[in-house]
Amino acid sequence: MQVTIAAETKLPTPFAEFKLIGFDTESGQEHVVLALGDYQSDEPVLARVHSECLTGDALFSQRCDCGPQLEAAMQKVAKEGRGVIVYLRQEGRGIGLINKLRAYAEQDKGLDTVEANEILGFLPDARDYQVAASILDTLGIKAIRLMTNNPEKLQSLQDAGINVTERVPHHVAGTPHNKHYMATKTKKFGHLL
Ligand SMILES: Nc1nc2c(ncn2[C@@H]2O[C@H](COP(=O)(O)OP(=O)(O)OP(=O)(O)O)[C@@H](O)[C@H]2O)c(=O)[nH]1
Ligand SMILES: [Zn+2]
């Protein structure tokens, strides 16, 4: 997957002032990386590969754990003074925003997150991490310490050619609204929660 750095600017946040790097890809999808400190040196860098979740990241949804996980990743990178957050525009585990909302509507009727994707004709998880590998490669990052609870994501990133030297557990507090969702992630996706 061909990716190019299209823009670089500053992103001041409550946690740190990140470098914000915008990527264009041959598929037309745009992605961003928040980077801090000397992320290009040889030492494996603390990293999160975060999948877009408009409802969780921007609208404070309590159906999932995405918003608090994004914030926690920014805080951990700020604390270390060095790290990257690859923000991938793979909304709804790759099925897109509106289809995710359709999947939520199915869950409102009693299906779990996997069954809801399947009844709509999608894979339970349609994400592709090849683009993350290309982005990290373009940034000159050779090895990462990955903040995740998802063993499949870790494996997929390794399969895409990324050297993951360590999994850093990335737990956040649950809510009454995401209890069932988190339980399904543990049972059906093997999340280490
Ligand atoms: N299709 C679908 N996507 C969802 C649903 N809930 C959250 N998502 C999407 O799932 C993605 C996040 O995946 P998660 O399984 O929560 O976490 P992860 O990134 O695989 O694993 P961690 O690294 O541990 O956070 C985001 O793209 C969300 O938009 C849902 O019910 N259906
Ligand atoms: Zn979410």
CA pair distance 149, 38, nearest whole angstrom: 25
pLDDT tens sequence across 61-101: 999 999 999 999 999 999 999 999 999 999 999 999 999 99
Q: Residue whose CA is closest, atom 12 of ligand 1? A: 51
Residue with tokens 């740190």: 16
Atom nearest to 54 CA in ligand 1: 29
One DSSP character per residue, 172-192 reads ----TTTHHHHHHHHHHH---
Q: Residue whose CA is closest, atom 3 of ligand 1? A: 92
The arithmetic mean of pLDDT across residues 28-44, rounded, is: 96
Q: What percent of the chain has pLDDT over 90?
A: 89
CA 31 to ligand 2 center in whole angstroms:
17
Pick the ligand that lies closest to the CA of residue 171: 1
**Model pLDDT, residue 116:** 98
**Residue 24 pLDDT greater than 90, yes or no:** yes
The arithmetic mean of pLDDT across residues 3-15, rounded, is: 98
| CATH H-level, domain 3-90+127-189: superfamily | GTP cyclohydrolase II (3.40.50.10990)
Mean pLDDT of the chain: 96
**Model pLDDT, residue 8:** 98
Which residues face 31 on adjacent strands?
23
Structural domain spans, the chain: 3-90+127-189
